[in-house]
Amino acid sequence: MNPDDLRQILKAVTVPMLVVDGQSRLIGANDAAEVLLGPIPSARPFVTVLRHPEVNAALDAVLAGEDRARLNATIMSQGRGVFCEVTVTGQRLSGGPGAAIVIEDRSRDEETEQMRRDFVANVSHELRTPLTALMGFIETLRGPARNDPNARDRFLDIMEREAGRMNRLIGDLLSLSRVEQDERRRPVETIDIAALLRGVVTAQTGSADMAGVEIEQVGTQRQVMVPGDPDQLLQVFHNLIENAVKYGASGGLVTVALERLEHEPVMRGAAWTVTVADKGEGIDPRHLPRLTERFYRVDTHRSREQGGTGLGLAIVKHIVSRHRGRLRIESEKGQGSRFIVMLPESVGRL
């Protein structure tokens, strides 16, 4: 490879690439490499440019005769670590043997893999807790409580609750999986969102009465047609209104309001907003950015007592995203909470 060919290759390659001679001295680097590593003067020893023992060991091995070496490495760039895949390949240069080092940013892949590991760990933890309780009660029923009818009935009630909790968790996991699979497929139906909301409120009236909560409807007594999947939007508003009744009960009032916006900049046109507001104790603003994360709970003990799985708002977020809508959450401690779903008015906005 002559110098002109080397310059052309470095100019054409879009990922960071460096080339060294047989003594590990730099003879070329492209712009992407300088963005990643900073200014790279020619003729410097490679080890002074990238101080990473494993990468330097791979380079030594290639210069010693290996054809290729590939490894993952965290490389410091502008004060932060970047997870990269580094490939070192032997090259025949005009002055003798050398090597090319190509560095590809794999941070997004690593973040995705870390999310998968976290998700598996969270699911395992959420299932292990009720399973441990069930195993403990089964052991007790076979032993000390074998002939105690009162203890048996009490334990069976608890076991039923724990089994129900596992069933809800598995149901939500399956629901989340289906929603994620459909997220890129736009809804093809058109539904009356006002009628859907009235139906959800009617279904929640019994629970609200038991909790001492009044559900007030604003703007739902009309026909409002929007593009949407009726089953998924039913799930969204059932979750939001149920949560408002459960966690906002101290305020005694939940408002479900439907409103048209002539022009919503975020939606780039007309939109309908559904606001589910309560007058409960509210949520500390520091929690708001994470509320739609899987298994994130503001109050873990209270959420589990109320039968929550920690997946409801994650499901809501994905469904709203599939409808090309937006979910906004507003709350302050002691001021209640507002969950606002914005949906485009027409199919053309999807």
- CATH assignment at residue 102: 3.30.450.20
Are both 103 and 190 inside the same structural domain?
no
The contacts of residue 345 (CB under 8 Å, 6+ apart) are 226, 260, 269, 270, 271, 272
Are both 101 and 209 inside the same structural domain?
no
Inside any domain, residue 150: no
Are both 253 and 340 inside the same structural domain?
yes
Inside any domain, residue 165: no
Q: Profile the chain (350 residues) by mean pLDDT over runs of 10 residues.
A: 80 91 92 90 88 93 92 87 92 87 87 73 77 85 82 85 84 83 83 95 92 93 93 94 86 92 79 93 88 78 60 91 92 90 73
Inside any domain, residue 69: yes
- In contact, 195 and 235? CB cutoff 8 Å: no
Looking at residue 331, what DSSP letter applies?
Answer: E
Inside any domain, residue 254: yes
Inside any domain, residue 147: no
Which of 83, 107, 131 lies at the terminal end of a domain, its last residue?
Answer: 107
The label of the residue with tokens 């907003």 reads 273
Inside any domain, residue 87: yes
Are both 89 and 196 inside the same structural domain?
no
- CATH number for the domain spanning 220: value is 3.30.565.10
Using CB atoms within 10 A of its CB, is residue 316 exposed (0-12), middle (13-18) or buried (19+)? buried
- In contact, 5 and 88? CB cutoff 8 Å: no
Are both 340 and 212 inside the same structural domain?
yes
Inside any domain, residue 98: yes
H helices of 222-299, in order, are 230-247
- In contact, 220 and 198? CB cutoff 8 Å: yes
User: In 3D, which of 241, 310, 321 has the Cα closest to residue 274?
Assistant: 241
String of DSSP letters for 81-142: EEEEEEEEEEEEETTEEEEEEEEEE-HHHHHHHHHHHHHHHHHHHHHHHHHHHHHHHHHHHH
Residue 62: what pLDDT?
Answer: 93
Residue 58: what pLDDT?
Answer: 95
Phi-psi region of 11 (alpha: psi -120 to 50; beta: other; left: phi over 0): alpha
String of DSSP letters for 60-76: HHHHTT-SEEEEEEEEE
Are both 303 and 203 inside the same structural domain?
yes
Residue 118: what pLDDT?
Answer: 73
Distance CA 291, CA 329 (A): 9
Inside any domain, residue 323: yes
Are both 201 and 338 inside the same structural domain?
yes
Q: 3-class secondary structure for 165-195? A: HHHHHHHHHHHHHHHHHHCCCCCCCEEEHHH
Are both 99 and 191 inside the same structural domain?
no
Residue ranges making up the domain that contains 192: 186-344
Helices 149-182 + 312-322 axis angle, to 10: 20
pTM above 0.75, yes or no: no
Which of 107, 133, 149 lies at the terminal end of a domain, its last residue?
Answer: 107
User: In 3D, which of 47, 103, 98 has the Cα closest to residue 71?
Assistant: 103
Which of 80, 107, 134 lies at the terminal end of a domain, its last residue?
Answer: 107
- Name the domain count of the chain: 2
Helix (H, G, I), strand (E, B) or coil at 257: strand
Residue 304: what pLDDT?
Answer: 54
Q: How many alpha carbons lie under 13 Å from residue 262 in its C-beta half-sphere? A: 0
**Pairing state of beta strands 326-331 and 190-192?**
unpaired
Are both 207 and 87 inside the same structural domain?
no
Are both 49 and 197 inside the same structural domain?
no
Are both 194 and 324 inside the same structural domain?
yes
Are both 95 and 195 inside the same structural domain?
no
Residue 334: what pLDDT?
Answer: 84
